[in-house]
Structure 1
Amino acid sequence: MIFFFCAFLLLRIIFWWFAFPNSDEAYYWLWGQHFDWSYYDHPPLEAWIQGLCTSLFGRSAFVLRLPNLFSNVAFFYTYYRIVIYLHKNLEFWKVMLLVVSSPLYFIFLGFAWHDHLLITASLISAYLLIRFLDTYLTDGRGETWRLYASAIALSFAFLSKYNAIFVAIGFFATVITEARLRPLFRDRRLYIAIAIALTALIPIIIWNVSNDFLSFRYYVDRSVRPVDPGIKIGPFLGFTLVSLFVVPPFSWIGFYQLLKTRLPIQSIYPTVAFWVFVPSTIGLTIISLVSAALYYWNITAYLLLFPLLPFVFRNFKAQAIYGLIISAVLVFHYTVFPLTALIDQQSDPDSRMLFGWKEVAAIVESEARTLNAPLLVTSDYRSASALAYQMNNRNVIAISDRIDQFDFWHRNLPDGKDAVIVSDDWYPAELVVLSKFDRTSEPITISVKRFGVWIKNYYVRKGYGLKS
């Protein structure tokens, strides 16, 4: 196990220190430079933390992912407490190996996205609730502080990402389906705990009231109001097959064995684990058939299953090798060279955007010096976020045909201003941006290559006379 843990740790350090921020990492970092009650795409906790870290320690790849370091420590310490509670002997290293060798968790515990906070807070909340429910079943009372602490942790999960609702549904389903727990519905402490968890909605509601409930509407439209009605086989296969890949097949076999095995533990834990897994997985599978569901939306579903796997699981080495190979490929892909660039010139535009920003920023700075305090404009939120991070400039503007957080920061652009405009082939400036100016210059093409292989082109123009 020592070899595998050292290898995974080395990969994590390489990624944290050397990978340029994924477009969404830069996007959420930029949120932190514009403090608000909440934000259009997600709740505010990750942005608040990013803003605090940047104000204290400045901007760097290490600082960007510093919150992940603390959440990882809390995450695995909670697993340690769970393993000790369930097994009475130290199976922790096996459980930790199962988690880090699952590409889903290797990736999302590393990205400075909202997910690392979501899964950490959800795991802490579930552990505390299980401890409360077990003592409640023993003495009819339970430890009140654990119930309230679980609610506080759940509120942090809600402040991280909206799909914490699946965790809450799993908790509720446990209480309602377990006859011995139903008296809790007559216990005022349960309602106090619910109220504590719902406090997370206060800043989110304040923001939505001030912004015509656009965040809530965005998620409803995205999940249950598809533009094209009918069954979506492609998204369904994408959700299910990628889920089977990022959580290794060995673990899925173990999950199936858990369903058939009577576990030698006296705890409500397996029931909670079942109900956290089932509604989320079934619900998102159904959504994938009619609209869109991404594999990582189900990231909380598997959390409580891993500590149960040592009861039925034997393929630790096989899963570790599987996870190590995939993780090594992903780290190389994100930090050194996007492997999908070897396939064709269009595939995986997200990963291509990790490269070339130092060159782009140098040209932008050079062009900006020829204008009088110009605006910095790009054609999409991804490029705007990456440029803002590279230049450490919170005032970069995205002009595109989709609503994003930039629309709330830059509602009224100044008439007549000149600008330096950045675009690429994924979101060409010709679509929306160029029509906003009286005239524009011919583009400077920046061709990004690694090891002699073309990755993508960026285009830098000057725009004269903005028309808002």
Structure 2
Amino acid sequence: MTIIRLVYAAALDLRTDEAYYWTWSKELQLCFLDHPPMIAWFIRLGTALFGDTNLGVRFAGILAMGATQLLLADIVRRATHNMRAVIIVVLLPEAALYYGLLMAKVAPDVAVIPFALAMIWALVRLAESDDGRWWLAAGLFGGLALLSKFTVVMLLPGVAAFLLVPAWRSRWLFSPYPWCGALIALAVFSPVLIWNVQHDWASFRFQFVRATAPHELSLRTLGDYIGLQFGQVGFVLLPVTLSALSFTAWRGYRTREPVAILLSTAVLVPFLYFLWKSFTLRIGDTWPMFMWPIGFAAVAINIVKLPQDGAPAWFVRSTVRWARIAVVSGIAMVVLIFLYYVAAPWNFLGRADPIGAEAGYQQVAARAEQELKSSGATWIATSDYRTYAMMRWFFRGRVPVIQINERARFIGFRDPGMNLIAGHAGLYVVREPDNAGPLLADTTAHREPLGRVERSWRGRVMDTYAFGRLTGWTPELAPPPDSPLYQWRWLAGEFDSAPRA
């Protein structure tokens, strides 16, 4: 399965968000508007080893998957002392599409998953050893998780329940170790705080606006959320995991057992929160992915604990059988999907295909190369971060690329080469129908249409892009915060009903 992930990582073109995070890895920033900086550092590690290649950008995800499995194995080993349970928990992530294959797709979740799980592992070690110093390790890993993605704060109810519900709460509340652990987490997270203090809390406001944007009640977004969980976790594995978490919660809160309380609360609370939010907001496909590996640990532990709880033999056998079915069917599905994207020539999903929808940008880049030569343009302008990222990825610094709007995304970025921009013609590359928008209306820019190109994948047109020659204007890299070219679309009131994570 690791070989499959390596082949997938090397063979498939980068998706737009992956290329966007790659552009971050070229900057030395304490934080970014969209996310904390850890994913940029992960990519920097991979590209230092393998260069600016598909595998280089994605390599850290391969390492993260291995670290996740090792942590799961040790959590279950310490909780059960049962090698069969350890084998099951190592195989369960392989049976889930997101982990078995898509951990090779770089995203902030690739960084947050091993650190979040390492925090849980440290707390399991604390429960096993009763050594308060493990609070310090938990604080370190918790801070690294926060440095990866903000949604990891949803694990705090699980940590709080682990601290307060068991009989040890008075001892730990009056111990310095938990509070020192919290201070360590805050210190590790401090680069993000420093950057936000310097930039008017931009990334916090960005995430807050996204989470609180007004939306109408929608059963469609609820269905999207549930469907995504079945698709990315597994049609068998998801109910198996939720069932195990329910039994683990019942066992933990009935007996006040710390590890059971920790595992169940750390998953069920964010799962139910996302379920509630999905009535009015489309939940991004990766948002809940940090929590499910913790649920996989609960599945393996539950198999061992059920007989100890006095569960009927038939029920125990059924639980084991369904876990095995989840592993076998899930791994088979992951392999089939891998073969579909790597080896098959067909497009069964049309424009709805999640990989195909972001493929084919080399066609846009090739046409842009031609237009640069024929029009005499020396730089490329775009109006969305996806096109910006893909143009930077394909041109690799040979031509300056500027996203002329949403400049808040690029706070602190290096000069892309203003000597090649100021006073020179630019090539405007924009997806239709955005080319008809009023973005340049209040500027001095003159746009001369140059043509169009279709972006296609496996014979299906995914998007059409328009090209234009820009003259008479130099984009402002750092416009004032009240400028429409500075604000991100969420703050400008353009609330997307289907935001991407």
Q: From the superposition, tell whether residues 353 and 255 of structure 1 become closer, same or farther in structure 2 (CA, over 3 Å).
A: closer
Shift of 1:186: 0.5
Q: From the superposition, tell whether residues 333 and 227 of structure 1 become closer, same or farther in structure 2 (CA, over 3 Å).
A: farther
Match of residue 3 from structure 1 = none
Query: CA separation in 1, counterparts of 2:62 and 2:167?
Result: 40
Q: CA RMSD in A?
A: 3.1
2:289 to 299, 308, 312: 299
Say whether 1:240 aligns with 2:244.
Answer: no
Say whether 1:130 aligns with 2:120.
Answer: no
Query: CA separation in 2, counterparts of 1:335 and 1:354?
Result: 15
Match runs of 1:44-443 below 5 Å: 44-55=37-48, 57-91=50-84, 92-136=86-130, 142-144=131-133, 146-223=134-211, 225-228=212-215, 230-251=216-237, 252-257=239-244, 259-260=246-247, 268-310=258-300, 311=303, 312-328=319-335, 330-331=337-338, 335=342, 347=352, 351-370=355-374, 374-393=378-397, 395-400=400-405, 405-406=409-410, 409=413, 416-425=423-432, 428-432=434-438, 435=441, 436=443, 438-443=445-450
Query: CA separation in 1, counterparts of 2:458 and 2:290?
Result: 39
Shift of 1:44: 0.6
Letter in 2 for 1:457: T
Q: From the superposition, tell whether residues 33 and 86 of structure 1 become closer, same or farther in structure 2 (CA, over 3 Å).
A: same
Match of residue 5 from structure 1 = none
CA contact (8 A) 1:434 1:463 kept: no
Measured against aligned partners, the alpha-carbon deviations of 1:180-224 in whole angstroms (never above 9, x if no partner) come to: 23321100111110000112331111111222112111111111x
CA contact (8 A) 2:59 2:104 kept: no
Query: CA separation in 1, counterparts of 2:356 and 2:466?
Result: 15
Say whether 1:12 aligns with 2:5.
Answer: yes
Query: CA separation in 2, counterparts of 1:249 and 1:236?
Result: 17
Gaps (5+ residues) in structure 2? 304-318, 476-501
CA contact (8 A) 1:24 1:113 kept: yes
318-327 vs 102-111, which deviates more? 318-327
Give identity over the alignment, percent.
19
Q: From the superposition, tell whether residues 161 and 415 of structure 1 become closer, same or farther in structure 2 (CA, over 3 Å).
A: same
Letter in 2 for 1:305: G
Query: CA separation in 1, counterparts of 2:114 and 2:401?
Result: 32
Aligned length: 448
Measured against aligned partners, the alpha-carbon deviations of 1:418-455 in whole angstroms (never above 9, x if no partner) come to: 21122223x62222555456333333332344454434
Match of residue 32 from structure 2 = 39
Q: From the superposition, tell whether residues 446 and 49 of structure 1 become closer, same or farther in structure 2 (CA, over 3 Å).
A: same
Q: From the superposition, tell whether residues 460 and 327 of structure 1 become closer, same or farther in structure 2 (CA, over 3 Å).
A: farther
Letter in 1 for 2:141: A
Q: From the superposition, tell whether residues 257 and 56 of structure 1 become closer, same or farther in structure 2 (CA, over 3 Å).
A: closer
Match of residue 139 from structure 1 = none
Residue 461 of structure 1 aligns to a residue whose secondary structure is strand
CA contact (8 A) 1:240 1:295 kept: no
Residue 179 of structure 1 aligns to a residue whose secondary structure is coil
What is the TM-score when the length of structure 2 is the normalising length? Answer: 0.80
Q: From the superposition, tell whether residues 170 and 395 of structure 1 become closer, same or farther in structure 2 (CA, over 3 Å).
A: farther
What is the TM-score when the length of structure 1 is the normalising length? Answer: 0.85
Measured against aligned partners, the alpha-carbon deviations of 1:301-325 in whole angstroms (never above 9, x if no partner) come to: 3222213324143234532443245
